[in-house]
Structure 1
């Protein structure tokens, strides 16, 4: 029988010893935190700002629905304001893109197709889920927006399956809300805002790097509009902002000291 003193880290030489036997020398190559990646406070707060932006966008969309549903604003007013904001954002986006003229002509055709089909299909979309109870519609919409928030891309700039799921769920939730409005014009205005918020706006945000500044603008605008609807919801929104912007990032920074990456002989071989 081979003695333990002759043990080597070679399976074909370890005859006579149990398969799970290890010598003290087995852990000689153990290393801890050889490639540490510590997230800075600014990076953590910036990621929190990205999450806050998505919350604000969803709440702003719900506010637009409440305005249309209560006739606090006409569909034409909502459509004109959202169109102006979209044009401003598109100019900001197109200035950072190459082949500007070719891109503008292609996007213009896409917009015309959407406006034509969206306006024609608005009566159909409005009556699509009219037979479903309002409570079910609201519950399904909340569920769809939760999926949108969970699968939105917060750090990565690449389009992935999760991003497609996020966009699909948000648009589906928006379509269900259109059946609660009074006229097809209301439905078309809400559908336009949904496309602008959940499809077009993420492309603009991917070109902008100062997430904290954008988050503050959206947060203050959302809070101002939310105060006119419900004081309780305003307090909840402020609490959420404090949690996402400050408490969670600082808590994550504090927990980094307990993180340990262990590297040893059990790792896969890497070609140098």
Structure 2
């Protein structure tokens, strides 16, 4: 540090100063700041955020278990159609109740009419396309179909939108659309291996419900009280593990362990790792320009 009466170092570039280029004043660390933008996580909040991943993985394995049963002819496709229609009606009621804070009464009525019209169009389109889908991969080996569908479901899980719902409903992004397309494509190639047209129709109807409609409903469910959200997650995870257990207890055990790790283990690791966060800020940071909008 320069003595009294002598020239003191200043943080300027336009003035020539009698100091070497690598000179560091004693006050250099006075403005050191650590973890200024750090917000500590709560285990409860992380578990609730991970519930969206648990729900999505559960829907994938529910779909796979249904496909196996249809392929083995141990599940009547007519029963699946009626169950899918019933759950669609129930989901529509839940959706109508959940969207009340976001839309006026006349807007909800218009959305309801649009949803009914779209549902009928999808229903009729699947009826007409089922015979075509059944013969889509007739010349492809089953091993290739299993590998392709597995890869598509992995893409679907990786690209799915697990963000918390916004205060104002937003349109789906490109990544979410790619995720849905991957799941529907996997459903198409799996449905093409089923023995009857009715089985193809029932499975595709289920795929539309699980991979196109349920992710939208899941956004609304994330906005309900935490107890209800977690209870719904436990119910759908239990249903997926139970459906897999009757097919393969070993796979069901692995899947149950995966869900427990995703729901509780991952948040616990993140809670443990946040103690090592060490973000250092100071006057030596690169300047960030702030462009003022024209007035």
TM-score with structure 1 setting the length: 0.90
C-alpha distance in 2 between matches for 1:262 and 1:163: 35
2:177 matches 1:164: yes
- What's the C-alpha RMSD, in Å, of the aligned pairs? 2.2
| Paired position in structure 2 for 1:199 | 212
Question: Which position in structure 2 is the counterpart of 1:138?
Answer: 146
* Deviation per residue, 1:40-83 (Å, 9 max, x gap): 01011112222111110000000110111011112211110011
SS at match of 1:73: coil
Classify 1:54/1:21 alpha carbon distance in 2 versus 1 (closer, same or farther; 3 Å): farther
1:247 aligned to 257, 261, 265, which one? 265
Which residue in the other structure is 2:47 paired with? 45
CA distance in 2, matches of 1:200, 1:29: 52
List aligned pairs for 1:72-221, cutoff 5 A.
Answer: 72-97=74-99, 98=103, 99-157=107-165, 158=170, 159-209=172-222, 210=226, 211-221=229-239
The whole-number CA distance in structure 2 between the counterparts of 1:15 and 1:191 is 76
Name the structure 2 match of 1:68: 70
Q: Would the alpha carbon gap of residues 12 and 65 (structure 1) be closer, same or farther in structure 2, given more than 3 Å must change?
A: same
| Secondary structure in 2 matching 1:12 | coil
Match of 1:231 among 241, 249, 257: 249
1:13 matched to 2:15: yes
The Cα of 1:23 is off from its aligned counterpart by 4.7
Deviation of the 1:262 alpha carbon: 1.9
Instruction: State the distance in 2 between where 1:192 and 1:14 align.
Output: 76
What's the CA shift for 1:9?
Answer: 2.7
Flag the 1:14–1:89 CA change in 2: closer, same or farther, 3 A.
farther
Q: How many residues align?
A: 268
Partner secondary structure for residue 214 of structure 1: helix
Q: How far apart in 1 are the matches of 2:49 and 2:212? A: 20
- Partners of 1:167 and 1:184 in 2: how far apart? 23
Kept in 1, the 8 Å contact 2:81–2:202? The answer is yes
- Using a 3 Å threshold, how does the CA distance of structure 1 residues 14 and 217 change in structure 2: closer, same or farther? farther
Offset at 1:20?
A: 7.0
- SS across alignment from 1:11: coil
When structure 1 is superposed on structure 2, of 23-32 and 218-227 the one drifting more is 23-32
- What's the offset of the Cα at 1:15? 7.2
